[in-house]
Structure 1
Amino acid sequence: MANEQQNSLDVPAVGRSRHLADDLLAEADIRINGDRPWDLQLHREEALDEIIARHSMGLGETYMRGDWDVQALDEFFYRLLAADLGRRIKNWRNAWRVLRSYLLNLQSRRRAFKIGEHHYNLGNEFYTTMLDNRLTYSCGYWPGANSLDDAQTAKLDLICRKLDLQPGMKMLDIGCGWGSLIGYAAQKYQVECVGVTVSSEQSAYVKERYPDLPVAVHLQDYRDLNESFDRIASVGMFEHVGRKNHRTFMEVAKRCLKKDGLMLLHTIGKIEPAPNNPWIDKYIFPNGEIPAAGQITLAAQGLLVCEDLHNFGPDYDKTLMAWHRNFEQNWPRFADRYGKRFYRMWRYYLLSCAGAFRAGKIQLWQWIFSNDRSRGVERIC
């Protein structure tokens, strides 16, 4: 398989002298031009200097150019991240991106719609072929599931049960995506649902798919919300909020949540505060920022009460691998439209993230918050 991938590029692995990268990668049991699925096949020797000098940005951009390949890219990243090689390499070229995230509000109202335009508006047809049948672009829940559709349905039902949805309630979904949760909750739990998104493609899709359900979708920034709801959910959107706006998000939730209400916050999380991967920031999720647990609890302090925290990060590894299989299977439909560089970028995104979850460097959390200190909530997993 590795040889087939190499030949498809018409570029042979290069002969070369030993490099610092050889020694670093050896700590992760990765060999350059080795014969195992996770070994790096090098096509341009100068790429090693760029990777050492520019760290994650250099690694991603040299891959996008075709300077190297790995058959099992997910396993390559698992080993790379589990060995914590990032701490061994100084990354001064990306210092401005780190400093910028502290000085500027990268998720301000003015920038709020950038992520929709850059990432979520790629085209509904593209996401339809990669995601499950409801277009759920967040981690599935895999215990007992045999397919991506099963895992995503289980996740949606888990959310509804955790929120204790009852017929006649009104639920808000902050960052509703293509409407999988609001469509499911309205149909299966007989609740009225309102979703907000910053993607015009998502908004149009929701309106077209759920015309006969009590579902409304608004193309707006979450900070403009000022309506009362029995329940609030936010699934895979908090990663776009940013530390400077965490408190504002919780204030909006407090403002919109009835006194006896509950909110479920489903988000990717980091073990400790750290700057985002600069390659992901530039090419996939501009201005995104994965929160740490302490940042979330501090943002909610004095506003909402944490009733439960559920971590099922390993399930995101399985979800990303399922998305990748769908992406590869359906890529011929989009090859002429998006091109080879996009293919390599998207493959790198999906499989590097799968490796990161596999290594435990990032987590997947579901938080339950109440608006009433005396309420008490039954734990459901």
Structure 2
Amino acid sequence: MDACRQFMTDLLAGADVAVNGTKPWDLRVKDERLFREVLLKKNLGLGEGYMRGWWDCERVDEMICRVLRNATAGHIRGCWRLFLRALPSMVFNLQTLSRARQVTERHYDLGNDLFESFLDPYFQYSCAYFKDAEHAMDDLDGLSDGEVGRELARAQRAKMRLICEKLELGPGDRLLDIGCGWGGLARFAAEEYGCRVVGINISKEQLAFAREFCHGLPVEIRELDYRLLQDRFDKIVSVGMFEHVGTRNYGEFMKAAARSLKPDGLFLLHTIGSNETSPTVDPWIGKYIFPNGVLPSMAHISRAAEPWFVVEDLHNFGPYYDRTLMSWLRNFRRSWPSLRAQYGERFRRMWEYYLQSCAGSFRARDIQLWQFVFTKVGRPQPRCRLA
């Protein structure tokens, strides 16, 4: 155990992270078994150790950021055990029609009360657009919980407006929202731009909520997989859903979007993206948060879109996801007393580690947030009122 401890201590020191140090991003180890687990399972062992209470850290987000910015990340990621865990995704299609519901059942159907506890009033579970925020990211710790909530709500409305402007939405348009979540964007588009919306989803909890949330508006919410689409639309949007499509289905997704888009239409894809082309996702995230999820690379997306679309615009505002996640964390912690009895302490640690580790990844620029605007080949270039 001493050798394992020394190896991990030396490894983290290169990222200015100490074991049992005094800085906010230092690890405070409570169970020595952590060192062997991290050496055997790498980042999977680190996340599981946090869930078990084997270590704590005042600023997990900053610790993760420092590790990823340093060469330490390569040592923590690499492991033959993790390769074996990733092997099925290289050989099999883990996001077939029959398997697609796994992520909805294990994540999105956890309970609307959970997501309501930390999301904005439009239930936007994707990166907000803080371009015109009143306070900088560094000011977040100095804001009250109420101020954090208001800033998040404004930034999410700004994100939705940005999407609608890029799509040149207007009265008379028929918009398809692939993976419509709780219906927030569909409601916003119908209310603010006067268009008709069809949202498709396969999450039972989200479908029920979205239908009620959009009641009385020209919004239809369907339980439907994107592969079964038959209608044609003026505009198409997909926000935060492409991460669940899987590398073996990117071409099918783009083909379905092209089949559903009118010749003069616009398609906006909003997705988290990876700097590296890989068929796998972080093993801890894949096991505990998003089963079968994969982050697409730029190469993945461009290859899949090439037969069907012209890229009219590409916008990266990944750094705003850091602030979005830290805002969600503040809201979650504020709401935890009302959630504790239902979800329990292990879940609290899991969820806080999820939000903080993702924030650290975006802060380190290890992952990105992209918005693509696509048109069909031959269509005149759109106005695309961009940021």
1:16 and 1:45 in contact (8 A); partners too: no
Q: 1:208 is matched with which residue: 206, 212, 220? A: 212
Distance 2:71 2:255 in 1: 37
Q: 2:274 is matched with which residue: 270, 275, 279? A: 270
Partner of 1:151: 155
Partner of 1:111: 99
Following superposition, the deviation at residue 145 of structure 1 comes to 2.5
2:104 is the counterpart of 1:100: no
Partner of 1:139: 127
- What are the equivalent positions in structure 2 for 1:239-254 lying under 5 Å apart? 239-254=243-258
Secondary structure at 2:42 match in 1: helix
Secondary structure at 2:98 match in 1: helix
Secondary structure at 1:158 match in 2: helix
Q: 2:176 is matched with which residue: 167, 172, 175? A: 172
Q: TM-score, normalised by structure 1?
A: 0.94
Q: TM-score, normalised by structure 2?
A: 0.93
Q: 1:284 is matched with which residue: 265, 281, 289? A: 289
Distance 1:165 1:46 in 2: 56
Deviations 1:127-147 (A, max 9, x none): 111100110000000011240
Following superposition, the deviation at residue 378 of structure 1 comes to 2.8
Quick check: 80-89 or 137-146, which moved more? 80-89
> Deviation above 2 Å: which 4+ runs of structure 1?
15-18
2:233 is the counterpart of 1:229: yes
Code of the residue aligned with 2:176 in structure 1: it is: L
Deviations 1:109-134 (A, max 9, x none): 01111111110011111111110011
Distance 1:188 1:38 in 2: 43
Following superposition, the deviation at residue 206 of structure 1 comes to 1.0
2:34 is the counterpart of 1:47: yes
Unpaired runs of 5+ residues, structure 2, are 135-150
Following superposition, the deviation at residue 356 of structure 1 comes to 0.1
Secondary structure at 1:308 match in 2: strand
Paired-residue identity, %: 49
Partner of 1:323: 328
Q: 1:260 is matched with which residue: 258, 264, 277? A: 264
Distance 2:220 2:378 in 1: 30
Following superposition, the deviation at residue 377 of structure 1 comes to 2.3
Distance 1:242 1:161 in 2: 28
Partner of 1:30: 17
Code of the residue aligned with 1:269 in structure 2: it is: G
Tell me: CA distance 1:16–1:106, structure 2 relative to 1, closer, same or farther (3 Å).
closer
Distance 2:18 2:117 in 1: 34
Following superposition, the deviation at residue 367 of structure 1 comes to 0.1
2:311 is the counterpart of 1:312: no
Following superposition, the deviation at residue 16 of structure 1 comes to 10
Distance 1:152 1:43 in 2: 39
Following superposition, the deviation at residue 166 of structure 1 comes to 1.4
Deviations 1:339-365 (A, max 9, x none): 110000000000000000000000000
Distance 1:44 1:37 in 2: 19
Tell me: CA distance 1:197–1:374, structure 2 relative to 1, closer, same or farther (3 Å).
closer
Distance 1:336 1:198 in 2: 28
1:260 and 1:372 in contact (8 A); partners too: no
Code of the residue aligned with 1:155 in structure 2: it is: K
Aligned residues: 368
Tell me: CA distance 1:231–1:344, structure 2 relative to 1, closer, same or farther (3 Å).
same
Following superposition, the deviation at residue 373 of structure 1 comes to 2.6
Code of the residue aligned with 2:35 in structure 1: it is: L
Partner of 1:11: none
2:47 is the counterpart of 1:60: yes
Distance 1:73 1:305 in 2: 40
Code of the residue aligned with 1:305 in structure 2: it is: V
Secondary structure at 1:176 match in 2: coil
Note the aligned Cα RMSD (angstroms). 1.5
Tell me: CA distance 1:298–1:202, structure 2 relative to 1, closer, same or farther (3 Å).
same
Following superposition, the deviation at residue 82 of structure 1 comes to 0.8
Following superposition, the deviation at residue 207 of structure 1 comes to 1.0
Secondary structure at 1:364 match in 2: strand
Following superposition, the deviation at residue 220 of structure 1 comes to 1.7
Distance 1:288 1:47 in 2: 26
Following superposition, the deviation at residue 38 of structure 1 comes to 0.3
Distance 1:325 1:54 in 2: 30
Following superposition, the deviation at residue 237 of structure 1 comes to 0.2
